[in-house]
């Protein structure tokens, strides 16, 4: 929480990037505490690793200091943020308690997943069998989203080899 | 990200050389042991890509692009997604619904296992390739002239 606030407040983008990395690492530790090791692996590798490197390489292209523009705060914006935040917090009050066995999420299909999937799929890790078999189409969608995102970046930014091709072939060093 | 990046840092280079094979091996473990332990294609792909990105950070973009050319990465990204879809279509030809792995082998459990391993492989290949592509695209751009900093 403190790290997140620091990320918003700090003007030096390099430090903000580092703080984001720390935030991701803390989130990963939190996921491990909640027994969501799959998510923690992803968060640690994506949030703390790769996305920070991408941010840094984007920083290389720009400046590392945020421009201060128009520090006049709008009262209307504050009001909208407060109302939205309040509504969201009000919404969480209806949520079931943590680890409540009667929660709706534990009633619908998850008994079948947790009780029958080792027999039906023959794979001990239920996360994998839900992800890849019961929800195979959703996972296909995710993969296609990732693929399309990669294609989009390629179209916008180029392949990364494009610039080097312009140099003479004998010119090994930049 | 010139080839000279960090080249005098011998501790970094030696440390990375020790670490990168272990990270790659761990990625493959996460990929193929995903049915038994936490992990799967997404995580494995990201970890694999992270190892290559670490290599690129320390030994330079040109070195890594000689080993892993961008064109091959683009091809692999498409191949991963295609592998996933083709497993689904294979299941249709075998008499089931799209992505219904049960029909892939005589034993339903074996069929499920084959299907899951193959689609996780497709997921892993696509994720790793796309992340490497992102890194190439960002890192391969020339440094623009900065305004005052």
pLDDT in tens, A67-94: 666 666 678 888 898 999 999 888 888 7
User: What pLDDT is attached to residue B108?
Assistant: 75
Share of chain A above pLDDT 90, in %: 3
Of B37 and A22, the structure prediction assigns the larger pLDDT to A22
pLDDT at residue A13 greater than cutoff 50? yes
- Tell me the nearest-neighbour CA distance from A107 into chain B, angstroms: 24
Instruction: Report if residue B52 sits inside a domain.
Output: yes
Number of separate domains in chain A = 1
Instruction: Report if residue A126 sits inside a domain.
Output: no
* Binary contact (B65, A160; C-beta < 8 A): yes
Asked if ipTM goes beyond 0.85, one says: no
A166 pLDDT tier (thresholds 50, 70, 90): very low
* Binary contact (A158, B147; C-beta < 8 A): no
Q: Which of B47, B55, B76 is nearest to B6 (CA)?
A: B55
Instruction: Report if residue A19 sits inside a domain.
Output: yes
A106 pLDDT tier (thresholds 50, 70, 90): low
- Tell me the nearest-neighbour CA distance from B94 into chain A, angstroms: 16
Instruction: Report if residue A62 sits inside a domain.
Output: yes
Number of separate domains in chain B = 1
Instruction: Report if residue B68 sits inside a domain.
Output: yes
Other CB atoms within a 10 A radius of the CB of residue B110 amount to 14
* Binary contact (A42, B42; C-beta < 8 A): yes
User: What pLDDT is attached to residue A84?
Assistant: 92
Instruction: Report if residue B146 sits inside a domain.
Output: no
Mean of the pLDDT values across residues A135-150? 84
pLDDT at residue A31 greater than cutoff 50? yes
Q: Collect all residues with Cβ–Cβ distance below 8 Å to A155 and sequence separation of at least 6.
A: none
Q: Count of A–B CB contacts within 8 Å? A: 179
Instruction: Report if residue A8 sits inside a domain.
Output: yes
Contacts of A42 in chain B (CB under 8 A): 42-43, 46
User: What pLDDT is attached to residue A170?
Assistant: 47
User: What pLDDT is attached to residue A58?
Assistant: 78
Mean of the pLDDT values across residues A12-24? 80
Instruction: Report if residue B4 sits inside a domain.
Output: no
Domain range for B116 is 10-139
Residue of chain A nearest B137, judged by CA positions: A160
The mean predicted confidence, pLDDT, of chain A is: 74
* Binary contact (B50, A49; C-beta < 8 A): yes
User: What pLDDT is attached to residue B22?
Assistant: 92
Q: Render pLDDT for A38-64 as a digit per residue (tens, 0 to 9).
A: 788 888 888 777 888 888 877 777 766
Contacts of A161 in chain B (CB under 8 A): 65, 69-71, 136, 140
* Binary contact (A139, B119; C-beta < 8 A): yes
Instruction: Report if residue A36 sits inside a domain.
Output: yes
pLDDT tens track, chain B, 149 positions: 444 554 567 888 888 889 999 989 988 888 888 777 777 778 888 888 888 888 888 888 888 888 888 888 888 888 888 888 888 888 888 777 777 777 777 777 777 778 888 888 888 898 889 888 888 888 777 654 444 44
Residue of chain B nearest A135, judged by CA positions: B99
Per 3-state DSSP, what percentage of chain A is helix, strand, and coil (rounded to 5)? 70, 0, 30
Of A50 and A117, the structure prediction assigns the larger pLDDT to A50
Instruction: Report if residue B117 sits inside a domain.
Output: yes
Instruction: Report if residue A38 sits inside a domain.
Output: yes
**Closest CB to B142 among A53, A139, A163:** A163
Of A87 and A120, the structure prediction assigns the larger pLDDT to A87
Q: Are B113 and B32 in contact (CB under 8 A)?
A: no
Instruction: Report if residue A140 sits inside a domain.
Output: no
User: What pLDDT is attached to residue A165?
Assistant: 46
Q: How far is CA A108 from CA A7, A125, B24, in A?
A: 39, 20, 39
CA distance A129 to A125: 7
- Tell me the nearest-neighbour CA distance from B43 into chain A, angstroms: 5
Instruction: Report if residue B148 sits inside a domain.
Output: no
Instruction: Report if residue A3 sits inside a domain.
Output: yes
Domain range for A37 is 1-66
């Amino acid at each position: 929480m403190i790290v997140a606030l620091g990320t918003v407040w700090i003007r030096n983008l390099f430090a903000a990037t580092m703080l984001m990395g720390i935030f991701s690492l803390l989130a990963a530790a939190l996921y491990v505490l909640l027994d969501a090791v799959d998510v923690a692996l992803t968060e640690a590798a994506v949030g703390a690793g790769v996305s920070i490197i991408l941010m840094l390489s984007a920083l290389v292209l720009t400046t590392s200091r945020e421009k201060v523009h128009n520090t006049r705060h709008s009262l209307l914006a504050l009001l909208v943020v407060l109302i939205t935040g309040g509504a969201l917090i009000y919404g969480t009050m209806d949520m079931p308690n943590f680890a409540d066995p009667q929660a709706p999420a534990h009633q619908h299909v998850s008994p079948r997943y947790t009780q029958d999937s080792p027999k039906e799929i023959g794979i001990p890790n239920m996360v994998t069998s839900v992800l890849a078999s019961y929800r195979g189409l959703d996972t296909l969608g995710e993969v296609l989203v990732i693929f399309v995102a990669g294609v989009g970046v390629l179209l916008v930014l180029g392949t990364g080899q494009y610039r080097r091709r312009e140099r003479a072939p004998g010119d090994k060093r930049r | 990200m010139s080839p000279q990046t960090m080249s005098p840092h011998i501790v970094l280079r030696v440390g990375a050389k020790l670490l990168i094979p272990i990270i790659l091996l761990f990625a493959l473990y996460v990929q193929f042991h995903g049915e038994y332990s936490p992990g799967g294609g997404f995580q494995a792909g990201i970890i694999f890509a992270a190892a290559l990105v670490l290599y690129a950070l320390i030994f330079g973009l040109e070195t890594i692009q000689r080993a892993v050319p961008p064109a091959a990465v683009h091809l692999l990204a498409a191949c991963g997604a295609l592998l996933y879809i083709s497993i689904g279509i294979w299941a249709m030809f075998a008499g089931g619904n799209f992505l219904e792995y049960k029909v892939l082998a005589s034993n339903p459990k074996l069929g499920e296992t084959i299907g899951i391993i193959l689609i996780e492989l497709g997921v892993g290949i696509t994720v790793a390739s796309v992340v490497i592509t992102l890194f190439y695209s960002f890192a391969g751009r020339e440094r623009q002239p900065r305004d005052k900093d």
